[in-house]
């Protein structure tokens, strides 16, 4: 049994802040004097009411959300949102614009098509194996919404700046970079994020929806597939994933009270990414897979001179307590996911290992 914690570079479920894990551990059997675990208290109790209300309040403060935006917690992950979005917003004869930047965008597009609705793919980076973020996108003025994936975990690309849709509501899958940097929320009609990459454990998706989007939701949908169901009941229509929401609340508290907000977090994340990309760019041994201007601050993807060396790199790293560096099964290679909770010290440890591995195997 391993006594020490590894430096965790998993893409999701991913690292959580150590202070959060310690607080969960300390309070797990007796949450806030209840005499029960947080996994046992009623979701209708004041104890959980305080948890979910604080999670919503901290989300609003961190993202500077005004009263037009509702913060919801929905089960089913981001993948359920792929079908809920067209189901809730696209009426007969209407269409939405989609930008295809990789696997998750493609899955979202497929869910529109399954419903027999129209997804206009207005831009794609498939021509270069999804190694870049498209620019100068011809969005349609009559689109109901324009969908993007803000950060692409598999290919290691990220929108450095969000596109101008000329007033068409932006909808974004922010599963892997939500709460990693400040941004202007006003163009967004919906932001959604599976928690397990950057804000919590698996089991819940955070959805931030602007109230004008709720007006598009038809009454004819099943109750559990309507955003209005969750907004009217403050995410409490049925029993929510209480433990996952509790963990998110603690992560947001850590972000706000310990880190000091999203501007501070953004500065830390940029330093972390710079450390790794500087090594990748320092020679020919490591090769980044994303174009320089589209590189992700969350998922650093790279290749080595051969697949044999990549396997050795991943195994040797694990033997040195550096875990989760294997690339996604669909593309291979190596990937360091450096979400908020993976600190600069872990990045520097990985950087030292990469330098040593190159000297010994280059």
- CATH code of the domain containing 286: 3.90.1150.10
Q: What pLDDT sits at residue 1?
A: 54
CB 71 within 8 A of CB 240: no
Kindly state whether residues 31 and 110 are assigned to the same domain: yes
The mean pLDDT of the chain is: 97
pTM of the complete model beyond 0.85 = yes
Q: Confidence class of residue 3 from pLDDT cuts 50, 70 and 90?
A: low
What pLDDT digit, counting tens, does each position of 155-213 carry? 999 999 999 999 999 999 999 999 999 999 999 999 999 999 999 999 999 999 999 99
Inside any domain, residue 298: yes
pLDDT value at 2 more than 80: no
Q: Confidence class of residue 217 from pLDDT cuts 50, 70 and 90?
A: very high
73 SS3 class: strand
Kindly state whether residues 214 and 265 are assigned to the same domain: no
- Taking the C-alpha atoms of residue 125 and residue 11, their distance in angstroms, rounded to an integer, is 22
**Which of 109, 92, 102, 219 lies closest to 144, judged by CA?**
92
Q: What pLDDT sits at residue 222?
A: 98
| Domain endpoint, select from 258, 282, 315 | 258
The backbone torsions φ and ψ at residue 112, rounded to the nearest 5 degrees and listed phi first, read -65, -45
Kindly state whether residues 228 and 344 are assigned to the same domain: no
Contacts of 358 (CB under 8 A, 6+ apart): 283, 285, 286
Could you list the active site residues?
104, 173, 197
Q: What pLDDT sits at residue 15?
A: 98
Share of the chain above pLDDT 70, in %: 99
CATH of the domain at 246: 3.40.640.10
Q: What pLDDT sits at residue 4?
A: 84
| Domain endpoint, select from 258, 292, 308 | 258
Inside any domain, residue 240: yes
Range of the domain at 272: 261-361
Pairing of strands 188-194, 205-210: antiparallel
| Domain endpoint, select from 240, 258, 276 | 258
Q: What pLDDT sits at residue 169?
A: 98
Which two structure tokens, joined as six digits, stand for 2? 């391993």
Q: What pLDDT sits at residue 197?
A: 98
Give the strands of the sheet with 334-337, arranged side by side: 287-288, 299-303, 334-337
Q: How many domains, in total, are found in the chain? A: 2
């Amino acid at each position: 049994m391993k006594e020490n914690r590894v430096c965790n570079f998993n893409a999701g479920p991913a690292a959580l802040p150590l202070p959060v894990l310690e607080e969960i551990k300390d309070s797990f059997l007796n949450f806030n004097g209840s005499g029960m675990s947080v996994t046992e208290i009623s979701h209708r109790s004041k104890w959980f009411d305080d948890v979910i209300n604080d999670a919503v309040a901290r989300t609003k403060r961190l993202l500077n959300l005004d009263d037009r935006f509702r913060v919801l917690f929905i089960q089913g992950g981001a993948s359920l949102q792929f079908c809920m979005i067209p189901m809730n917003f696209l009426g007969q004869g209407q269409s939405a614009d989609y930008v295809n930047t990789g696997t998750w965008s493609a899955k979202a597009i497929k869910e529109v098509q399954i419903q027999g609705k129209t997804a206009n793919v207005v831009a794609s980076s498939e021509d270069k194996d999804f190694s870049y973020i498209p620019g100068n996108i011809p969005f349609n003025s009559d689109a109901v919404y324009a969908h993007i994936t803000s950060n692409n975990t598999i290919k290691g690309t990220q929108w450095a700046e969000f596109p101008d849709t000329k007033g068409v509501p932006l909808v974004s899958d922010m599963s892997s970079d939500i709460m990693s940097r400040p941004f202007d929320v006003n163009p967004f009609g919906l932001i959604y994020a599976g928690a397990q990459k950057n804000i919590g454990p698996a089991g819940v998706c955070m959805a931030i929806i602007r109230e004008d989007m709720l007006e598009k939701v038809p009454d004819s949908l099943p109750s559990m597939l309507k955003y209005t169901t969750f907004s009217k009941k403050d995410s409490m229509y049925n029993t929510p994933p209480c433990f996952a929401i509790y963990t998110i609340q603690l992560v947001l508290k850590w972000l706000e009270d310990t880190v000091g907000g999203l501007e501070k977090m953004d500065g830390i994340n940029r330093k972390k990414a710079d450390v790794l990309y500087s090594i990748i760019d320092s020679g020919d041994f490591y090769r980044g897979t994303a174009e320089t201007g589209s590189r992700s601050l969350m998922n650093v993807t790279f290749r080595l001179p051969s697949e044999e060396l990549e396997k050795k790199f991943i195994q040797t790293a694990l033997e040195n307590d550096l875990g989760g560096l294997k690339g996604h099964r669909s593309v291979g290679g190596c990937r360091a996911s450096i979400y908020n909770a993976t600190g600069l010290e872990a990045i520097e440890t990985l950087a030292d290992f990469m330098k040593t591995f190159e000297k010994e195997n280059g």
